[in-house]
A and B are shown apart, each in its own frame.
Chain A
Amino acid sequence: MNQRFYDVEVFWRWSRWLKSRRVQRKNAYFGFTQKKFGVNIAAAYYVLHLGGSFRFTDQSEWVHANSRGKFSYNFLNTPDSTIEEVDLSRTLINHNGLDNIVSQKTLRSLSVQGCPNVDDWFLARLHVFGESLQELDVSHCPRITVGGLVALQHLRKLRRLDVSSLVGVSSPSLVRILLEEMLPLCEVTGAEYDQGFVQHDSMGQLKEDTWLETRSFPVCIYPAGSEPRLAPSHSGEFLFLQAA
């Protein structure tokens, strides 16, 4: 409809603008809070403000907002405790918001499962936690692609990485193998080895990848019809699948 009527187009533009402004405001830099209460409280407040939850280093219970977005301000009493685990699943965090928690050098676990605004630039920014981050969950983020996952190489301490259901990654199994090679100490979960590896040519014949065979990874051959989605033609990845 917006192709026909200019006023609909304008409303469309407005709604988009309002949406992006909401994300921007949610992820604004809490400079004043940092100056007044210190970086730790600012980071804690930011996480709760977004609707996430966290756990302080010296405490065992998680702090989170209730269903109406209200939370207790007890964390104001402990300005020196740093955050160890953060769960920001299904929140509006983006790469700008990360500025508020980069001060937490003890961050050990971060979950950004299902965040619509987490993209490659967010992942590229995570190198600040290179010396501490051990667990990362980026599953179900629609905007993450391979170009961002390569930036995780700076996280040398990473032990667990969840990359399941990334729509932007076209061949999850290959990416998993490559990620495991890149981070040898890290356990990558979420993508099965057999996802998107089998390809039919026009004759209905099965094609396997020679490269895979040489590396002796298990390949599951799907019967025709029940095949998982294939890699779309994407410069190099396409070449790879054509190699057979």
Chain B
Amino acid sequence: MSRWHKMLLSGPGYSALAISRVVHSWRFSLNGSRNFSTGKRARKDFIQDLEGQFKAIREKAAAAMPGTDWSPVELRRDLPPDRADIVVVGGGVIGWSVAYWLKKKERVRDGVRVLVVEKDPTYSEASTVLSAGGIRQQFSLKENIQLSLASVDFMRNINEHLWVLNEDPIDLQFNHSGYLFLASESVAHIMEENYVTQREHGAKVTLLSPAQLKERFPWLNTDGVVLASYGLENEGWFDPWSLLNAFRRKAMSMGVFHCHGEVTGFTCTTSSRETEDGDVLRIKRIKYIDVKMPDSREYQPVECAIVINAAGVNSGKIADMIGIGSGSEHSMAGFSLPVEPRKRYVYVVHCPDGPGLESPFLIDYSGVYFRREGLGGNYITGNSPEETEEPDISDLKVDHEFFQEKVWPHLSHRVPAFESLKVTGAWAGFYDYNTFDQNAIIGLHPRISNMFLATGFSGHGLQHSPAVGCAVAELVLDGGFRTIDLSAFDFKRILQQEPILERNIV
């Protein structure tokens, strides 16, 4: 037996034998490995040399035209596929969550071809990773509470959902400290109403009086606080990057295509419909979506059936590219997507005498929040600026004056220990602010018949992402919401000018 092996493996080389087997298989099908042809060697050499010759041609061309990386053969590997069923624009946590749920809900293997397009592979300006990473149920709208509860349920069983074979189990670093909202006299009644709604939908929240508050958190100054609501369970903060990465890893293991490129344009067909008033309305349908490669002018039109706009802060820009909302037809202004970036500063402060392990994610009625970061007396804090004082959104520079003027006074008033803090770091992040009513927009765009929107979360995107992904996948694949009814978040409310506002205490 071993002699036969030796015979097979000796001679002109095993790989050459393998090639000749492929080429001459019709002739030597009986004893496949041995080859008695005399003309073989020359032909085989030609095939073997072919690659080397191509290389020589390329080098010659490069020498003739220095400075260009032109090549007659396509060498780019990172181009997106030229056809996909569903293109998700935006590879943030919402985008990957939608991609994951689409693949999860497909009935047959490779039932849908999903492509996720992300502009920045380093996520340097993405809202997902620059957020404070909190999750809470203390909302006033029932949809938001349900989304939060469903997301928490997902995170609780995250390893059953997102675990990938041969990888470590996912550690979200979830910190189970509840949110503590403080209400002044003027907003206490809102807090009570919200509390009733939250309990009704199954959120574990409790109300605390100032005396109870003082007993639980002795480091807190309760001046001006009339009522506080404290989340007992399912609230806290986690690592956004872990969640994003888990979604991405799982979705890619399930066969989602991804590409790093920027969406620069759309090719649409237009059809006309008549409204009840007799106006002619142009409805667009996206045929191709142009994806431009980074650092190059090369772009690839991707043929697609459905586009999901999950581009977060840039989703308004994406919708404008199709040319809606800017037309001269009347009432068209109502069709543009009211989502724009807003900049928020997050400061890291060090205060060794600050609140300890029990410190919650505290949100004061002045708008200032803080939470513990790690165990070494570090905290992160911030505040939402006034509507009139929105910072410049062209870059992510941090305004340290803002901390001195707007954050620290409120913070040290609430927690006197913070008078001796030291700012150790800061960053700024965008969030996709819905200027209409600060709530998510989920559903079909009325004038683009195949673009679904999942954007405008105004700061709750990260915490709602698992449930929103499921809802959007249901909307796309099943034609309607199955688990959580999010029809209130439809674009329709913008057309009818009926905002659904979160009744906040800040």
Contact = CB atoms under 8 A, between A and B. Distances in A.
B373 A236 contact: yes
Interface residues of A, number: 40
Contacts of B216: 153
B356 A178 contact: yes
A65 interface: no
Interface in A102-150: 120-121, 123-125, 127, 145-150
B411 to A, nearest CB: 18
Contacts of B357: 146, 149-150, 153, 175, 178-179, 181-182
Interface string B346-359: 00000010001110
A145 B172 CA distance: 11
Contacts of A241: 376
A175 B374 CA distance: 11
B373 A2 contact: no
Contacts of B177: 150-151, 153
A240 interface: yes
B160 A20 contact: yes
B378 interface: yes
A240 B356 contact: no
A238 interface: yes
Nearest to A170: B375
B280 to A, nearest CB: 55
Contacts of A175: 357, 375
Nearest to B239: A235
A236 B376 contact: yes
B176 A211 contact: no
Contacts of A238: 374
A27 interface: no
Contacts of B356: 178, 181-182
Contacts of B234: 124
A40 B234 CA distance: 26
A241 B378 CA distance: 12
B377 interface: yes
A3 B167 CA distance: 11
B232 A240 contact: no
Interface in B162-214: 165-166, 173-177, 204
B236 interface: yes
Contacts of A124: 176, 233-234, 236
A239 B372 CA distance: 13
B374 A95 contact: no
B374 A235 contact: yes
Using C-beta atoms within 8 Å of the partner chain, give the interface range for chain B.
Answer: 20 to 34
Nearest to A243: B376
Contact of B176 (A2, A13, A120, A178): A120
Interface string A225-244: 00000000011111111010
A120 B236 CA distance: 12
A37 interface: no
Contacts of B374: 234-240
A91 B409 CA distance: 51
Interface in B443-472: none
Contact of A147 (B204, B233, B236, B376): B236
Nearest to A209: B376
Nearest to A184: B218
A9 interface: yes
Contacts of A12: 165
A26 interface: no
Nearest to A24: B160
A226 B372 CA distance: 33
A159 interface: no
A150 B376 contact: no
Given A125-B233, A150-B176, A174 B156 contact: no
Contacts of B358: 150, 153, 182
Nearest to B359: A150
Contacts of A125: 233
A95 B155 CA distance: 13
A237 B176 contact: no
Contacts of A13: 165
Contact of A2 (B160, B166, B236): B166
B168 to A, nearest CB: 13
Contacts of A150: 175-177, 357-358
Nearest to A13: B165
Nearest to B352: A211
Given A3-B166, A147-B173, A127 B376 contact: no
Nearest to B373: A236
A154 interface: yes
A171 interface: yes
A202 interface: no
B156 A95 contact: yes
A147 B374 CA distance: 9
A237 B175 CA distance: 14
A74 interface: no
B174 A120 contact: yes
Contacts of A234: 374
Nearest to A238: B374
A241 B357 CA distance: 17
B466 to A, nearest CB: 15
A60 interface: no
Interface in A188-244: 211, 214, 234-241, 243
A237 to B, nearest CB: 5
A12 B373 CA distance: 38
Interface in A149-186: 149-151, 153-154, 171, 174-175, 178-179, 181-182
B137 to A, nearest CB: 13
The residue among A12, A150, A178, A211 with the most chain B CB atoms within 10 A of its own CB is: A150
Nearest to A153: B358
B165 A178 contact: no
A237 B375 contact: yes
A125 to B, nearest CB: 6
B375 A178 contact: yes
A146 B375 contact: yes
Contacts of A153: 177, 216, 357-358
Given A124-B234, A149-B357, 5 more contacts: A9-B165, A147-B175, A150-B175, A179-B357, A211-B352
4 closest residue pairs by CB, A with B:
A236-B374, A240-B376, A151-B176, A124-B176
19 contacts: A2-B165, A2-B166, A3-B166, A95-B156, A120-B176, A121-B156, A121-B174, A123-B176, A127-B232, A127-B233, A153-B357, A178-B356, A178-B357, A179-B357, A181-B356, A211-B377, A234-B374, A240-B376, A240-B377
